[in-house]
Structure 1
Amino acid sequence: MNGTVLRSEYLVLIVDDEQFNRMQLRLFIEKEGYQTAEAQNGREALTVVQQLHPDIVLLDAMMPDMDGFECCAQLQSLDCSKYTPVLMITGLEDQESVDRAFAAGAIDYVTKPIHWAVLRQRVKRLIQQSQLQQEQESVNQELKRLATIDGLTQIANRRKFEEYFSQEWRRMAREQKPLSLILCDVDCFKAYNDTYGHRAGDRCLQKVAKAIQSAARRSVDLVARYGGEEFAVVLPNTNAKGATQVAQAMRLAVRMLAIPHSNSQASFYVTLSVGVGTTIPVPGSDFEEMIVAVDRALYQAKLTGRDRVVINHSN
């Protein structure tokens, strides 16, 4: 983190069963410019963390009922505390207690009586480290997302399609449920580019991608750009009838865009040829055969006049 830390943005949760200890810590922490919240035992601390999502927890080790070690261990299981460092405050300095604090998930510890200058630096450092970790995680997630997104159409790319299709193939094989695949191709797209130019071709693909995506409505359905003007749709737990309905909806959605295409052999507008296949995967089998079979159905759609859906019946 660069520049001055705006400490008032950060919330410190103080957990101690002794009111005097909490008051001392609160006065010191607030003097340092942080906001504070308090809990007087481990169970209350778990509730407060889930409600307020503090940036750091100052946790007394020795408390009745649920001590700091157990509380710390339970905090680690909360999704909301993934980036919340725990600083254990303990009167115990023996090797076993220190090891126990770190084993429970504490990031660091300070001993009683508290050395305030040490506490100040450790709170500041742990919050900074947590913020950096969150920023890095955010960057990594964005990089991961970009690696699986097609830059032009902003839908999944071929890499993502292959990962997802493989994953769902294995899942449907385990559950013995139907998996459907749709491959579709923009008809006479080379002629479209030659007639209207590549920039218009790019805009056309963006509109087609949105139209296809609008027809695959479930969160588990994946629409991907498979090639230049070819799109693939993975429909988990979908039978042949359902897949055919989705395919027809996609074809009609593209027709309803009414994008003029004066040199198309299928229509005066941009249209889709679509191949569909459905199978219940055999455990341990390969999905490549299904892609080949659906691609044959797509080729048949083009061969028999374009702007139509052809179902592969070999599966």
Structure 2
Amino acid sequence: MIDKYPDQSRRYPIMSAQATSDRRRPSVLVIDPSASNRALICECLRQLPEIRTMATGDADQALQMFRENLPGLVLLDTTQQDTNGIELTRKIRAWELSRIETGISPWTPIVFLSSVTDEDTLAQGILAGGDDFLSKPVSEVVLLAKVRAMLRISTRQQEICEVHRQLKEIAILDSLTGIPNRRHFDDTLAVEWKRCIRNDTPLSIVLSDVDFFKQFNDIYGHQAGDFCLKAVASSLSESLFRVEDTVARYGGEEFVAILPGTDANGAYAVAERMRQSACDLHIPHERGIDGRVSCSFGVASTHPSTEKAPQQLVKTADANLYAAKSAGRNRVILNLE
């Protein structure tokens, strides 16, 4: 049984230096108000060299440690000095739900350790978000087997989250340029349109096109064309200084930027900065403007409302882009609605 070990709690700080230097190993967070119990559990877990342990008896500190270290498993005594284990479980699950990424929230197995075998307490713990229950004193064999099993499940869940994240990234990113694709632009425009209505703020977009790109492909080949598009995409992205601004590949050699909260004058300034950035790449183009690759830009800005549609903003930007190309290319055109 675990309770055969002497009290060695002083040997176990919250996180050892070895654990800090090897954070890739799965970790177990032990939460128990008794220092001697924490020491005994940690001593038992040391038989599993592939894991690292953390321990605390304070519920608030436990929640902080959970947030900062994201353990693979929590071993939790149901009775804490300042709050009960069931309430702490609810707080952990609520925090995990607040961190939903790519449509999937993280999940960490929680196993209750308690000398109380009341069925109602067990049911409340499971309903609060617990996953299993072990009665104290816990057999070493059972505890080690349970930890291995739960960490196995936790690892698989993390792998699923990572695969889901990668799939979503593939779905929203353009495979050639690495910037968001048309689908992401459409979704973002719809979201930002509604946000600007709620906040009563302007919304602008900048639609751009690489000048004489077909001729560039004909002269230098498609590999050079791909390089050109990637370079232009990068330069346009680097021209956006705010995190809320987004540039996406609209299709072919066209790119589009969404500028929420930006009025017409601000959008024009951004477009001009993007135009200059593309020219500064100095990509040779014998049929281009001044012998190098350049871009034309159409800017549209509006104050979104329920009486308007975001597609109209795109239509206006497209018309202004066409005007920029008709006027000689390598320029920015803004005609207000």
* TM-score, shorter chain, exceeding 0.5: yes
Amino acid at match of 1:133: Q
- CA–CA separation in structure 2 for the residues paired with 1:207 and 1:49: 42
Quote the offset at 1:20 in angstroms: 3.7
* Corresponding letter in the other structure for 1:18: S
Q: Which residue of 2 aligns with 1:301?
A: 324
- For 2:311, the equivalent position in structure 1 comes to 288
Sort the Cα spacing of 1:128 and 1:214 in 2 relative to 1 into closer, same or farther, 3 A. Answer: same
User: Contact 1:76 / 1:82 at 8 angstroms: preserved in 2?
Assistant: no
* SS of equivalent residue, structure 2 residue 252: coil
Contact residue 210 and residue 293 of structure 2 kept, 8 A: yes
In the alignment, which residue of structure 2 is the partner of 1:147?
A: 171
For 1:231, what is the secondary structure of its paired residue?
A: strand
Does 2:261 match 1:237? yes
Counterpart in the other structure of 1:49? 66
**Aligned pair in 2 of structure 1 residues 47, 236: CA closer, same or farther (>3 Å)?**
closer
- Distance in 2 between the 1:50 and 1:260 partners? 51
1:181 is matched with which residue?
Answer: 205
Q: Quick one: distance in 1 between partners of 2:219 and 2:66? A: 61
The verdict on how the C-alpha distance between 1:267 and 1:74 changes in structure 2, with shifts beyond 3 A counting, is same
Counterpart-to-counterpart distance in 1, 2:252 and 2:68:
48
- Per the TM alignment, residue 115 of structure 1 is displaced from its structure 2 partner at its CA by 3.4
Give the distance between the partners of 1:45 and 1:263, measured in 2 at CA: 65
Worse-superposed segment, 20-29 or 182-191: 20-29
Task: Give the CA deviation at 1:174.
Answer: 1.3
**Correspondence 1:270 to 2:293:** yes
Which of 29, 33, 36 aligns to 1:17? It is: 33
Say whether residues 1:67 and 2:84 are aligned partners: yes
Change in 2 beyond 3 A, CA 1:16/1:258 = closer
- Contact 1:149–1:156 (CA<8 Å) still a contact in 2? yes
Shift of 1:275: 0.4
Contact 2:106 2:158 in 1 (8 A): no
Cα 1:120/1:188, change in 2 over 3 Å: same
- Count residues with an aligned counterpart: 308
CA shift, 1:140, in A, is: 0.7
> Contact 2:29 / 2:73 at 8 angstroms: preserved in 1?
yes
8 Å CA contact 2:210, 2:295 repeated in 1:
yes
CA shift digits 1:159-195 (9 cap, x unpaired): 1111111111111111110100111111111111111
Contact residue 174 and residue 283 of structure 1 kept, 8 A: no
Higher mean Cα deviation, 272-281 or 68-77? 68-77
The answer as to 2:122 corresponding to 1:122 is no
Corresponding position of 2:221: 197
SS at match of 2:74: strand
Distance in 1 between residues matched to 2:249 and 2:267, nearest whole Å = 18
* Pair 1:112-2:112 in alignment: no
Q: Partners of 1:195 and 1:10 in 2: how far apart?
A: 55
Cα–Cα, structure 1 residues 170 and 48, in superposed 2: closer, same or farther, change >3 Å?
closer
Corresponding residue for residue 3 of structure 1: none
1:313 to 2:336 alignment? yes
Asked if residue 90 in structure 1 is aligned to residue 122 in structure 2, the reply is no
RMSD between aligned residues:
2.3
Aligned to 1:262, the other structure's residue is in SS state strand
- The answer to whether the 8 A contact 1:14-1:37 is kept is yes
Q: Which runs of 5+ in 1 are unaligned?
A: 1-5
Q: Secondary structure at the match of 1:261?
A: strand
Instruction: Quote how far apart the aligned CAs of 1:82 are.
Output: 4.1
Residue 300 of structure 1: how far off its partner (Å): 0.8
